[in-house]
Structure 1
């Protein structure tokens, strides 16, 4: 079988795709950049293939590139004349060597992974967004949330990371399925929320009914119930505190006997940079409070006063609490 030779157009798409990946792994990509990438990928099937190939190549290069470069088997890759914004002008060798690390785990989680940035819909730090999909499905995305529409069909979505609220239209013709981690949540009506932060997923049914499946087990939730799953499996369903789980939609963060370490982790989802709790002993201390998301820095001040600790500010929005 004779394989077709790459054309000039294919080479051009490959170069553009590599520049997109270079921008994403640079840590400087914005929400606008993610939207522009989404438009570029949907230009044609060839664009999507070029991006998928570039993503695989950069990931492999990042993981193995340093060893190959040191052995002299892989020359440095220098990007051609940039087609994107100034942020895409990177050092090819430096970006390539770093790519595998930042794709899998950005240092200090200071920016989203490549998979998150390449999602169909994404919110940046502290950003919330409403979208209406085909059939009238209403989706509200919380901060640092990435959502992909499977095969351009609104009936199946993938929550890559973050938190989202889904409101089914009254005349929905087909059920909605939301994939998160290794689980699947299906609903035909009502409203439910899915939170996928780290390795844990929490599904909360606000109205109606939701079926949650995970590794061969299933739970059916009605309004006011929630269930969690992670590597340990599907946990028993429990009563949800809707005043806490839905507070973000009112611009609030509500903590009720929440460990301080979890509070700090939640703060990090809403502010640029990183807050680091240096004392392990304080991590389990319970926190109760109601705070405005728009005044997230006030939470840090409250923590310092409540626990008699001091915050040390470093460049890049990093704050050490000790």
Structure 2
């Protein structure tokens, strides 16, 4: 008789367990003990069998989407959970393979919307796919901005394009010898049309990014400037040769695809490799956290919504959270975090949501 080990995380719903087993199988053949545990789970109830069958059918819907970089990345994230995925990954995902399976299980496979050949890579359960980012054509001069929670695609006169994230602003000032864009605040993704005679220059803070034809994003916060290269090559140096903050010398740095440069106030700049797809999730209306302090995650979520989350307790803010979360929905973020961590949400009179440490009786079943 085979002794069973519990590879299924404790506390998963039937639908979550079904998607767990399916991603485990997709990652590789189950060994004898895992196969026995799966067989026992499947035979445990008709609900388990139905959920797994619907999950299997939903999974097959993505076979036609091979080559989609966003879907491939999300699928890899689901599979990377390994034999014992964290519960946070499954409840926090809200996107990609796991969530797509939950959509199919919850609505029935036939209840999924028909997106034809352009099915988006990420759709949250029970919600329609994100609306296309509105495009606005601009001349080679002028200012453009987005409000909190808004995204906007700006098509420039030379064929380049800029996608502005939430609460962001740019100033366009093309000249005869260069194409100049100043990031005044926020975050923008630049897709640059090649033109050797007119370099494309993005100025942000005390640095500038120069490219000929490439794809990169720049983020400007009050205490840092960050450049992430998606494709091609860029050079990051001081703004018109000026010294950096506090008089530090800024050394020109060439980035390769997948590299990110972070220049933080009062600290040397850092260059390292990042998950580019993770960095660009905002284009689809999501953010991803990987073992991030809760207070930092809250600051990021707050960028996208008028209703703000707050944490007044230092210990609560230091708790770590992982997962992929929809932007612009602080109530849902608070609810999921309450499932992942020992915290609860409470409404404040000023319409903010406070995350506080959960008491010993929070979440207890009434007797």
TM-score normalised by length of structure 2: 0.52
Correspondence for 2:208: 184
Structure 1 residues 290-299 or 235-244, which shifts more? 290-299
Instruction: Give the distance between the partners of 2:198 and 2:350, measured in 1 at CA.
Output: 46
Which aligned pairs between 1:74-93 and structure 2 lie closer than 5 A? none
Which aligned pairs between 1:46-195 and structure 2 lie closer than 5 A? 120-150=143-173, 155-171=179-195, 173-195=197-219
Correspondence for 1:247: 281
Correspondence for 2:297: 263
Q: Give the one of 293, 304, 310 matched to 2:327.
A: 293
Q: CA deviation at 1:143?
A: 0.5
Instruction: Give the distance between the partners of 1:280 and 1:266, measured in 2 at CA.
Output: 17
The alignment yields a C-alpha RMSD, in angstroms, of: 2.1
Q: CA deviation at 1:317?
A: 3.6
Secondary structure in 2 matching 1:305:
helix
Q: CA deviation at 1:173?
A: 4.1
Instruction: Give the distance between the partners of 1:246 and 1:281, measured in 2 at CA.
Output: 30
Question: Contact 1:181–1:199 at 8 Å: present in 2 too?
Answer: no
Question: Contact 2:215–2:230 at 8 Å: present in 1 too?
Answer: yes
Q: CA deviation at 1:199?
A: 1.3
Q: CA deviation at 1:134?
A: 2.2
Structure 1 residues 202-211 or 294-303, which shifts more? 294-303
Q: Give the one of 334, 337, 347 matched to 1:303.
A: 337
Gaps of 5+ in 1: 1-118
Instruction: Give the distance between the partners of 2:172 and 2:156, measured in 1 at CA.
Output: 9
Q: Residues 140 and 172 (structure 1 numbering): CA distance in 2 closer, same or farther, change over 3 Å?
A: farther
Q: Residues 308 and 122 (structure 1 numbering): CA distance in 2 closer, same or farther, change over 3 Å?
A: same
Corresponding position: 1:208 with 2:232: yes
Q: CA deviation at 1:234?
A: 4.5
Question: Contact 1:217–1:234 at 8 Å: present in 2 too?
Answer: no
Instruction: Give the distance between the partners of 1:163 and 1:144, measured in 2 at CA.
Output: 8
Question: Contact 1:135–1:172 at 8 Å: present in 2 too?
Answer: no
Instruction: Give the distance between the partners of 1:258 and 1:279, measured in 2 at CA.
Output: 16
- Highest Rg: 1 or 2? 2
Structure richer in strand, relative to its length:
1
Aligned residues: 204
Instruction: Give the distance between the partners of 1:269 and 1:309, measured in 2 at CA.
Output: 21
Correspondence for 2:28: none
Q: Residues 123 and 315 (structure 1 numbering): CA distance in 2 closer, same or farther, change over 3 Å?
A: farther
Correspondence for 1:278: 312
Q: CA deviation at 1:126?
A: 0.9
Q: CA deviation at 1:296?
A: 4.3
Q: CA deviation at 1:243?
A: 2.3
Question: Contact 2:305–2:328 at 8 Å: present in 1 too?
Answer: no
Gaps of 5+ in 2: 1-141, 239-243, 245-249, 357-367
Correspondence for 1:217: 251
